[in-house]
Amino acid sequence: MASKILMPNPSVNHVAYSASMVPRSRSIGQVCLPNKSTAETTASISQSLVASSITPTMSTKTLDKTSSTRTSTLAHMWREVQGCNNWEGLVEPLHPFLRQEIIRYGEFVTACYQAFDLDPNSKRYLTCKYGKKNLFREVGMGNPGYEVTKYIYATPDVNIPIQNEPPCGRWVGYVAVSSDDAVRRLGRRDIVITFRGTVTNPEWIANFMSSLTPAKLDHNNPRPDVKVESGFLSLYTSNESDDKFGLKSCREQLLSEVSRLLNRYKGEELSISLSGHSMGSSLALLLAYDIAELGLNRLGPNLDIPVTVFSFGGPRVGNLGFKERCEELGVRVLRIVNVNDPITKLPGVFLNENFRVLGGRYEFPWRCSCYAHVGVEIVLDFFNMQNPSCVHDLGSYISLLKCPKKGDQVRKDEQNIFIRARESILSRAQNTNMEPLRNAASNLVNLFQNV
């Protein structure tokens, strides 16, 4: 299965960067994690990954030494880094400044996880633990050169008869804008909008509402062929309708704030950067499409403010019509995915961009019902048998990106999560008289491997 994913896909532009988090020391592909013994890796993997996700990419001294180079380079090539040329020539190999920006936007998303209050006894339960002025400092990011301007809440339109969570909006992210000092370094005023991934039960249920429905975000032109996953759309558009003083929808909050900031900084060089992990990447893509479809980023006939999505471990969001419309509107999406992460293959395990055409010539009649990924894809490869959940962990993604390969000799690992799982199952059953179980497990894993 890994070889299939790493091969070029006519529907998705991608390049592969591989590494291994298997306890045995291995260096695979373009980037790798530090070598550790099995005991050290098992004991420290969760601590190191979480810590690395909130640690600044470079020390203050390093930043001081490279500030002039970084300023001149990044300020002059920021449009390329934001995807104006679809990252042509920047992903293979991965350009150091693009890598740096990916990590930076990933750490903005990590702040959402660090600041989200999941303590039922807290007064801030299901909201942010900290005020807007102190958010970055409290999560260990220091002063990243951005000011948080608004907190964003989403209301799951899901009723669960038995649950401990109140039916209200949950804090899902924030809007921030770069400071004057950061503008000089970045070459433009950057509006960043970040979203965390799925945490609460209603959000998980919304994620499984995997039917396609017309987006219809522009009432003047509904575009019935542009369809998105109903659960993500529900999170994006639902509000606290039972309370006239309740929260507006996630969409209303975001469009209002983006419009306000665009008006405030009118006349400046601007960019709109959206980043999210898992479910959050879906909300980021919906917002990016919404902004472009409504023309909020349009300054003139051929002059648009760049809208760029940095997606970490994101699932498919819409159908082929949605993908084509995003490309037509100039929405740029950079997808960072782990080849072993099952979330990136959902929804549309069977009906997706790989199955809409037969023999490269004949399109199936259900073409509009096929899910499709949007954008350019950078593929990572990491896995840990002692902690399988790491395949979708944002900290794992960022840790891997922070550790480029060392040396020119690279060992290629062609195993993927399904092959490793099969080997684990068969080895455990090897000394038992459970031949039917071994055969069933092997067949089941082979089935998933071919999906």
- How crowded is residue 406: how many other Cβ atoms within 10 Å of its Cβ? 11
Tokens 């209603």 belong to residue: 202
Pairing of strands 357-358, 307-312: unpaired
CA angle 360, 229, 372 (to 5 degrees): 20
AA identity, residue 66: T
Q: Which two tokens stand for residue 206?
A: 């919304």
b/e map 318-340, b = 16+ CB within 10 Å: bbbbbbebbeebbbbbbbbbbbb
Active site residue 341: yes
In whole angstroms, give the CA distance from residue 153 to residue 138. Answer: 20
Q: Could you give the 3-state DSSP secondary structure of residue 167?
A: coil
End-to-end alpha carbon distance in the chain:
8
Q: In sequence order, what are the beta bridge partners of 116?
A: 128
**Cβ–Cβ under 8 Å, residues 184 and 220:** no
DSSP H helical ranges for 226-269:
230-237, 250-264
Count CA within 13 A, CB hemisphere, residue 416. Answer: 19
Phi first, then psi: give them for residue 336, nearest 5 degrees: -105, 115
**Runs of H (alpha helix) within 316-402:** 320-329, 394-402
Q: Which amino acid is at 228?
A: V
CA dist 236 and 204 (Å) reads 14
Please answer whether residues 421 and 1 qualify as being in contact, where contact means their C-beta atoms are separated by less than 8 angstroms. no
- Could you give the 3-state DSSP secondary structure of residue 352? strand
Active-site residue, from 271, 273, 278, 282: 278
Q: Which of helix, strand or coil describes residue 404?
A: strand
Query: Choosing from 157, 341, 393, 413, which is the catalytic residue?
Result: 341
Cβ 205 vs Cβ 199: under 8 Å: no
Instruction: Note if 190 is an active site residue.
Output: no
Whether residue 392 lies in the annotated active site: yes
Residue located via tokens 């995807």: 83
Name the active-site residue from 273, 392, 393, 399. 392
Q: Is residue 135 classed as helix, strand or coil in its secondary structure?
A: helix
Structure tokens at 404: 């480029």
Catalytic residues: 278, 341, 392
